[in-house]
């Protein structure tokens, strides 16, 4: 919610991110005398299909490239939260050039004793195989986790073979999105008829900062991104929007904590309370057990947004059911809210509209941080801790009961 308000206010609802193909040399009769640069603009939603469209447009300008693809250098944050499991696809890198939410899809199928698998830059209409992310299979008796990052150059996963049963697929986070995107862009350009004179070097970075733009790809407007971000809890979108807003204000964005600190200060000023007083996020997605926000402060932020006369946030939030099997919401009441969930932590914040039409800003947070710390210490980061699901169900029942009571009491 905070990142939505921040991005809409600073970037504007119609802001679009731009990804560019850049000629790093002169183009003579359709021949680029140099490398083809790829310059990211921070688009969190760029996928393989969008990158392929950019490659086709570039191929219309240069059919032959003497060099290779080079990605404009930029800061890459390898993950959002260091405490998450290594295979958590919701915890990818954050960079100027992002692709497929910085995830790669591992698909496999067992045919008798043989295992076939592929790593793909998967999108709805274009899913090329990739080699910039590699896979090593480990025997079942390795004593290793099902998924782990392997040591060595490049980005390599070590996967316990027994974890790949039958036929299936899983998303894995990408920590080095630049070579990943460079590989997909080059493959799409070649498919569009572009010929390259130089082999792609490992990494594929080091160029593209200067040069002439020969093709562009524009993202969706920020207002549309925020709607899906709130609905699907896309962490990369939140981090990209937050960093872009902080950068637009001249704040440091080299790490997520610095960018989030700039947002915390803006939110405090927006809602009328002292900075870092009951509102301290460590990143823009909320994916951190170190974030500290009180319900009072969150409710103040929501109330400030409503007082500002901008109804965008209310309409971006989704309807939220508060009925239970033995109790129903007051007739005519509605709730529009955003959830937030970690093991042994639950949050719900938004607006509740009473039967008479009165709009209430609310925030509900529940947690058992001691139990969370104890279970994580005992089980590491593998899977959901014992008791977490039952605890969440109790927290949800409590939040629903509170909301039903508020909708009646404050009508």
* 182, 69: one domain: yes
Q: For position 241, which CATH number holds?
A: 3.40.710.10
Q: What is the pLDDT of residues 273-311, one digit of tens each?
A: 999 999 999 999 999 989 999 999 999 999 999 998 667
- Residue-by-residue DSSP string for 125-189: S---B-SSEEEEEE-GGG---SEEEPSSSSEEEEEEGGGS-SEEEEEEE-S-HHHHHHHHHHHHH
Instruction: Indicate the SS3 state at residue 215.
Output: strand
CATH number, domain containing residue 38 = 3.50.80.20
262: enclosing H helix or E strand: helix 256-271
Does 285 map to a domain?
yes
Same domain membership, residue 410 and residue 283:
no
pTM of the predicted structure, to 2 decimals: 0.94
Whether residues 214 and 224 fall in one domain = no
Q: Of the residues 167, 186, 218, which one is the last residue of a structural domain?
A: 218
Q: Which parts of the chain register pLDDT below 50?
A: none
> What pLDDT shows up at residue 204?
60
Domain ranges, residue 261: 1-16+220-294
The number of distinct structural domains making up the chain is: 4
Same domain, 130 and 54: no
pLDDT tens for each residue of 130-180: 999 999 999 999 989 999 999 877 899 999 999 999 999 999 999 999 999
Cα 216–chain centre separation = 22
Could you tell me if residue 153 is inside a domain? yes
Predicted local distance difference test score (pLDDT) of residue 205 = 62
Residues 52 and 200 in one domain: yes
Residues 172 and 36 in one domain: no
* Residue 21 contacts residue 214 (beta carbons within 8 Å): yes
34, two tokens: 């140099």
């Amino acid at each position: 919610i905070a990142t939505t308000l921040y991005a809409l206010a600073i970037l504007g609802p119609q802001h679009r991110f731009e990804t560019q193909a850049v000629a790093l040399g002169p183009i003579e009769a359709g021949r680029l005398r140099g490398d083809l640069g790829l310059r990211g603009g921070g688009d969190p939603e760029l996928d393989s299909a969008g990158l392929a469209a950019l490659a086709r447009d570039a191929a219309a300008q240069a059919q032959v490239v003497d060099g290779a693809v080079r990605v404009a250098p930029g800061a890459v944050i390898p993950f959002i939260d260091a405490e998450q499991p290594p295979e958590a696809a919701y915890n990818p890198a954050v960079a100027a050039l992002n692709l497929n939410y910085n995830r790669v899809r591992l698909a496999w199928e067992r045919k008798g004793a043989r295992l076939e698998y592929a790593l793909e830059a998967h999108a709805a209409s274009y899913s090329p195989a990739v080699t910039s992310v590699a896979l090593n299979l480990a025997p079942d008796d390795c004593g290793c986790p099902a998924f782990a990052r392997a040591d060595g150059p490049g980005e390599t996963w070590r996967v316990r073979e027994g974890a790949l049963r039958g036929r299936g697929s899983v998303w894995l986070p990408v920590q080095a999105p630049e070579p990943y995107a460079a590989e997909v862009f080059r493959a799409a350009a070649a498919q569009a008829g572009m010929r390259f004179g130089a082999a792609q070097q490992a990494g594929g970075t080091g160029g593209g900062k200067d040069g002439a733009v020969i093709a562009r790809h524009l993202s969706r407007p920020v207002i549309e991104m925020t709607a899906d971000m709130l609905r699907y809890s896309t962490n990369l979108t939140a981090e990209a929007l937050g960093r872009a807003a902080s950068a637009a204000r001249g704040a440091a964005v080299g790490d997520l904590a610095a960018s989030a600190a700039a947002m915390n200060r803006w939110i405090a000023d927006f809602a009328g309370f002292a900075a870092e007083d009951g509102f301290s996020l460590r990143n823009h997605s909320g994916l951190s057990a170190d974030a500290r926000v009180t319900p009072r402060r969150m409710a103040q932020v929501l109330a400030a947004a409503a007082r500002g006369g901008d109804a965008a946030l209310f309409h971006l939030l989704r309807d939220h059911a508060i009925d239970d099997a033995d109790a129903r919401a007051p007739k005519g009441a509605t709730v529009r809210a955003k959830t937030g969930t970690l093991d042994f932590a639950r949050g719900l914040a938004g607006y509740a509209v009473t039967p008479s039409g009165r709009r209430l800003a609310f925030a509900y947070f529940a947690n058992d941080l001691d139990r969370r710390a104890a279970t994580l210490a005992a089980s590491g980061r593998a899977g959901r801790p014992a008791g977490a699901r039952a605890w969440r169900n109790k927290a949800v029942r409590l939040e629903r009961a509170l909301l039903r009571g508020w909708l009646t009491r404050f009508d």
